Structure 1
Amino acid sequence: MDSHKQLFILLWLSLVLVLLSGLQAEASRHLKYPTKELFVFGDSYVDTGNSQKSKPGSWKEPYGITFPGKPAGRFSDGRVLTDFIAKYLRLRSPIPHKFRNIVSKHYLKYGMNFAYGGTGVFDTFTSGPNMTAQIDSFNQLIQENVYTPSDLSKAIAYVSVAGNDYNHYLATNGSLPGFPSFIASVVKQTTTDLIHLQSLGFKRIVVGALQPLGCLPQTTAESSFQRCNSTFNDLVALHNNLLNQSVAKLNQETKDHTTFTILDIFDSFASVLNHPASHNIKDHLKPCCAGVSSQYNCGSVDENNVKKYLVCENPESSFFWDGLHPTQAGWNAVYNELEKKGLHNILY
């Protein structure tokens, strides 16, 4: 055999070994943490259908026009963060808690979603269950043996605290000077909820950082959707710093191999909003669906069922769907940023 053939064979074998080692590493990563179920707690950023159908919003047109083509309980034109997290974990999006008794038991094996739009760690204007009540509902299913300790050892609990407590604080005449102490109380209660989930048997608990509230359309409307509110974003930074400190302390104190991690929603939002063109986003602060005047919201109608809102021609080019929530394209862009920045370190 001549030297050229020997060199070719050696190079070919080297390439095969590299590919095999990569596949083996990927397989071992999945085997080490074989996530089988996803349990979701929180608010409209992760709610996939628990909110009441009688309420304005997720169950009314034009919500759901991109996916599944009609209103289906998601606060977006399509998929929300829960759907993308489940996709990454190679799971079906977990069934909303309200549908647990009317679907095949087969669907329960993917976990369950307890999130309810408009809720927080404390009581807000919505009649929906706050975080503590959501976790209590999950605990009830444990008592009924719907889920077992073995299930939880191979599951992820995802917790979304996206700012409803702060909206409620401002709407009930909360003062700006008192905001820092209220933020501390929200993070303290969030920490209590994380510990509660740990006590129920979860070994992996992920909590989302707070997104830049100062960039939401309900805030940027005052500047005709031209710029974010830096004061609000400074307060968000305080929330996220306190949350980071709290989660770090939890991990130091934990002795049973439970892992608490933070999904950096803030950084991913900011990356997309600062470089929208790289995600094919044209309107990054202006919502796709909005009321024809400031007194109306997306989906609002008058007494004759006449629409009092307008929808943009292409939701895929907008980051925000309404005054608070991303479009499916927006969530996809956030998900892509999370994946680039090490989503596997959080979820596996």
Structure 2
Amino acid sequence: MEYSSNFFFCCFLLIIITTTNIRATGGSPHHHHHKKIEVSDYASKPTKLFVFGDSYADTGNVQKSLANSWKQPYGLTFPGKPTGRFSDGRVLTDYFAKFFGLKSPLAYRWMKFGGKKVQNGMNFAYGGSGVFETSSNLLPNMSTQIDFFEKLMTINESIYTKRDLKSSVVLVSLVGNDYAAYTARSGATAQGLQSFIPLVVNQLAVNLKRIKEMGACKIAVTALQPLGCLPQMTQLSSFKQCNATQNLAVNFHNLLLQQAVAKLNNETKDSSIFVLDLYNSFTTVLNQKGDYQGDLKFETPLKPCCMGISSGYSCGSVDGNGTKMYSVCSDPKSAFFWDALHPTEAGWRAVYMALKSSLEQFFKFY
């Protein structure tokens, strides 16, 4: 993901322009209200997990030739070798599955080798993807990912049925690749963004509605994380300060998402779609420099563990002779971020702990 400061400056201008409209419809990026889910609504824990989205959720779908996630030192902590996860170990999908007592679902790309593992559900997320085309057809967008799933439900002797989906939970991750692609493709003007930002959220809402109409009863969708705190953004301040203007832009996206989800839930007279608040969970951990239990401490939380040793190189990069062009910190557990964009396993664990109470409030199982 590559983000432009001009893009976020324009977003900031757009926020100022549209503040009146946002206030008129209500909502806050920090105060989310959900209809209480009664015990009878979800009488038992889900049996499977289905995942759509991008690198925060991908567990091995991107082709090895397209991503450093298949190169060392990715996977250093878990499982000890690269598996396509964009981290040193476990990612959001793994911790989300843990909450429900489920095994992390099989990556779609490896389905033919999965055997009985398909019983855990399936992960269709591709790192680098979005709701629209972000780079090439090698990275299926979210609509195409849902197409993949739909085919598995409609082929002869279908692998999954509508009943499977009804007794499962769905995770949908969208963390900013559409905006990165938009900026790279056409720059970022206030006029262009004024129409593009709602398009992204509206398309995400279309995808959520489609998944629900396929039979899903429980869907969690990510709010944008604080993009202004990613190491790629904080490097200019020597990893000491988040970019507040960029984070204001993120809040604008999240406000629109909250409104879209509220509308979907109202249309179906339930609260089956839940916003997974990555913004507040990330900022909570970064501000506390660790998890609330005090088990994890991140002394310099904005500095990544793995980074290129010179300009033009990133974590996992090698030169023409195969020489490593990156450095890795001595203990990944001491770092919140693994590379310029993604948390470490320890970082994801801290985020999960920050999210856990809201998950328990929304998903009530007995």
TM-score (normalizing by structure 1): 0.88
Percent identity (aligned): 51
Q: Distance in 2 between matches of 1:38 and 1:268?
A: 22
Counterpart among 124, 140, 144 of residue 151 in structure 2: 140
Three-state SS of the structure 1 residue aligned to 2:93 is helix
Counterpart among 175, 179, 183 of residue 188 in structure 2: 175
1:263 aligns to 2:273 (yes or no): no
Q: Distance in 2 between matches of 1:176 and 1:220?
A: 23
Q: Distance in 2 between matches of 1:134 and 1:171?
A: 23
Q: Deviations over 1:226-278 (max 9, x none)?
A: 111111111100010000001001111115x5711111111000100111144
Q: Which amino acid aligns with 2:54?
A: D
Three-state SS of the structure 1 residue aligned to 2:208 is helix
Q: Distance in 2 between matches of 1:57 and 1:112?
A: 22
Counterpart among 230, 251, 258 of residue 244 in structure 2: 230
Q: Which amino acid aligns with 1:238?
A: F
Q: Which residue of 1 aligns with 2:259?
A: 245
Tell me the CA shift for residue 336 of structure 1. 0.5
1:123 aligns to 2:137 (yes or no): no
Q: Distance in 2 between matches of 1:334 and 1:297?
A: 24
Q: Distance in 1 between matches of 2:42 and 2:285?
A: 32
Tell me the CA shift for residue 198 of structure 1. 1.2
Check conservation: 2:45, 2:100, Cα contact below 8 A: no
Check conservation: 1:203, 1:258, Cα contact below 8 A: no
Q: Deviations over 1:77-117 (max 9, x none)?
A: 0000000011111010000001111121x211111000000
Q: Which residue of 2 aligns with 1:61?
A: 72
Aligned residue pairs total 318
Check conservation: 1:262, 1:346, Cα contact below 8 A: no
Q: Deviations over 1:261-300 (max 9, x none)?
A: 1111110001001111443112210111010112111001
Three-state SS of the structure 2 residue aligned to 1:64 is coil
Q: Distance in 1 between matches of 2:205 and 2:272?
A: 13
Three-state SS of the structure 2 residue aligned to 1:101 is helix
Three-state SS of the structure 2 residue aligned to 1:75 is coil
Q: Which residue of 1 aligns with 2:305?
A: 288
Q: Which residue of 2 aligns with 1:24?
A: none
Q: Which residue of 2 aligns with 1:108?
A: 118
Check conservation: 1:180, 1:235, Cα contact below 8 A: no
Q: Which residue of 1 aligns with 2:52?
A: 41
Q: Distance in 2 between matches of 1:213 and 1:346?
A: 26
1:343 aligns to 2:364 (yes or no): no
1:190 aligns to 2:201 (yes or no): no
Structure 1 residues 89 and 313 mapped into 2: Cα distance closer, same or farther (>3 Å)?
A: same
Q: Deviations over 1:153-184 (max 9, x none)?
A: 11111100011111112222422423343221
Structure 1 residues 135 and 322 mapped into 2: Cα distance closer, same or farther (>3 Å)?
A: same
Q: Which amino acid aligns with 1:287?
A: P
Alignment of 1:51-90 (within 5 A): 51-90=62-101
Three-state SS of the structure 2 residue aligned to 1:206 is strand
Check conservation: 1:263, 1:346, Cα contact below 8 A: no
Q: Which amino acid aligns with 1:345?
A: Q
Q: Distance in 2 between matches of 1:30 and 1:331?
A: 29
Q: Which amino acid aligns with 1:221?
A: Q
Structure 1 residues 66 and 33 mapped into 2: Cα distance closer, same or farther (>3 Å)?
A: same
Q: Which amino acid aligns with 2:250?
A: V
Check conservation: 1:56, 1:300, Cα contact below 8 A: no
**What RMSD over aligned residues (CA atoms) do the two structures have, in Å?**
1.6
Three-state SS of the structure 2 residue aligned to 1:172 is helix
Q: Distance in 1 between matches of 2:245 and 2:186?
A: 17
Tell me the CA shift for residue 29 of structure 1. 8.2
1:303 aligns to 2:320 (yes or no): yes
Check conservation: 2:42, 2:363, Cα contact below 8 A: no
- Which stretch shows the higher mean deviation, 119-128 or 129-138? 119-128
Q: Distance in 2 between matches of 1:62 and 1:49?
A: 15
Q: Name structure 1 gaps, 5 residues minimum.
A: 1-27
| 4+ residue segments displaced more than 2 Å | 28-31, 178-181, 345-348
TM-score (normalizing by structure 2): 0.84
Structure 1 residues 245 and 272 mapped into 2: Cα distance closer, same or farther (>3 Å)?
A: same
Q: Distance in 2 between matches of 1:323 and 1:243?
A: 25
Q: Distance in 2 between matches of 1:36 and 1:74?
A: 23
Q: Which residue of 1 aligns with 2:351?
A: 334
